[in-house]
Amino acid sequence: MSEMPVIAVDAMGGDLGPQVIVPAATEFLASHDRVRLQLVGSRDRLESLLAGQDGIGADRLEIVEASQIVSMDELPADALRKKKDSSMRVALNQVRDGHAQACVSAGNTGALLATARYVLKTLAGIDRPAIMSAIPARGGHTHMLDLGANPHCTPEHLVHFAVMGTVVAADLNGLSSPRVGLLNIGTEEIKGNETIRLAGQLLARSDLNYVGFVEGYDIMSGRVDVVVTDGFTGNVALKTMEGVARMLFETAREEARASWINRLGAMAAAPLFRSIRDRVDPRRYNGASLVGLNGIVIKSHGDADSVAFGNALQTALIEAQKGVPTQIGELLEQQRIKLEQAV
């Protein structure tokens, strides 16, 4: 890795595109002096948005031309076959060819997964990449994977997810031994389907800091640092949590307007509500890692604003500085040897 990490940015992806991504990129460079960015997309469009931006030297910001854009509703197979010069594909090519150490995109998730897997390939020993993101929890946050890439998993896949989650949680949070839990319908060893029970047995024999089965309420309890599950369950759990949070805030708003007494109470409690809102602000947790690839890929929310996209860039920078793929490969090999010796 170069002394100054380089991040390739899919500048045309997402619901809002370059009008949000370009300001986020320049703001990020202004606050981080040891990183370079490559904005990938239409040179004319990007140069027009960069016009008048001061303080960012050409040595730290480069435009890489790409003539195509992957739409948010495009089929992954079509993006892979027909959009070989898309901003998404070119940004991933930059990582593959060693011109960048990480890629950040707010584009189509399915297309990003398919293209990243094709361009970068998976790490040795990894069958499937997974989507991993931080979830607000008591005392901070919990990392959870998989969040939608792999609806069907074997016990070995879940062990791989635990290894990958351990590395990312350790690097992003400065933890020496992240606590790993396996999501189940109960904490007893007899609970769950055969896949979950076998994965639990494998994890119990590993060197990971495996604390056992955890239930849905443990995701946000602060009991564990990493929650492992299959992509179907993880995606449903994530969307459920988002829906509950949205419902609670909307209900609180409705109740605050219901009467003059409630309005007075809401005014008095405004600082408390602001603090809660800031703690669970989804912009703080923007930037899901596509782990298991032979390169660093960060998926931003499609509708991310400049603050949220800046957090995705921050995640990419940390993973590049730490060399996450190399660490995952090394830990995976250690666990493979450990499990073979235990058989």
**The CATH number, out of the four listed (3.40.718.10, 3.50.50.60, 1.50.40.10, 1.10.10.60), of the domain defined by the range 1-126+292-343:** 3.40.718.10
Element (H, E) at 6: strand 6-10
Block residue for tokens 């119990």: 204
Burial bucket for residue 205 (CB in 10 Å: 0-12, 13-18, 19+):
middle
Q: Residues of 294-313 as b/e, b for ≥16 C-beta within 10 angstroms?
A: bbbbbbbbbebebebbbbbb
Could you tell me the CA-to-CA distances from 228 to 49, 95, 132 in Å, in that order? 41, 27, 9
Block residue for tokens 């690839």: 293
On the question of a common fold for 1-126+292-343 and 132-275, the answer reads: yes
CATH annotation of 132-275: 3.40.718.10
Would you list the DSSP string of 82-137? H-TTBHHHHHHHHHHTTS-SEEEE-S-HHHHHHHHHHHH-BPTT-SS-EEEEEEEE
How do the pLDDT tens digits run along the chain, 343 residues long? 447 899 999 999 999 999 999 999 999 999 998 999 999 999 999 999 998 666 565 679 999 999 999 999 999 999 999 999 999 999 999 999 999 999 999 999 999 999 999 999 999 989 889 999 998 888 888 999 999 999 999 999 999 999 999 999 999 888 889 999 999 999 998 899 999 999 999 999 999 999 999 999 999 999 999 999 999 999 999 889 888 888 888 888 888 888 988 888 888 888 877 777 777 777 787 889 999 999 999 999 988 899 999 999 999 999 999 999 999 999 888 887 776 665 4
- Extents of the domains making up the chain: 1-126+292-343, 132-275
Rounded CA-CA distance 96/224 in Å is 34
